[in-house]
Amino acid sequence: MNKKAYTLLLTILVLTIFSYIGIVILETKSIKNVNIQNKYLFIQAKNHKEFLKSYIKNIKLEGIKKIDIEDSNFNINAFIKKSESSYIVDIFVKSKKFDISIHERIIKELPLKLS
């Protein structure tokens, strides 16, 4: 082989190595961006859940079976069941576009009846 063939082979090898490294770097940045977005959406869903939880603790639940809150990015629901001594409330917050879902069950005691 002559000098031009070695130069061409070395150039192809160097381009291949740098292309591979560039692809790995771009994939890592893409995954990092997705993780940041998921973290942000999880925090937002958690804030919606905490708001609904505090709202439920401050209202009378008599006669209410379900609470729905309109939001452009999340489905926010609470399902209320009454037992003998308390209300059992299941709170669900689920993203409409991403795979993020939060659930919490709270128990709100019924007020004592004086006889």
Residue extents of the structural domains in the chain = 3-109
For the chain, the residue count is: 115
Summary mean pLDDT of the chain: 90
- pLDDT of the residue at 84: 87
The parts of the chain modelled with pLDDT lower than 50 are: none
Using an 8 Å Cβ cutoff, are 71 and 49 in contact? no
Q: Residue 1: its pLDDT value, please?
A: 65
The pLDDT of residue 114 is 63
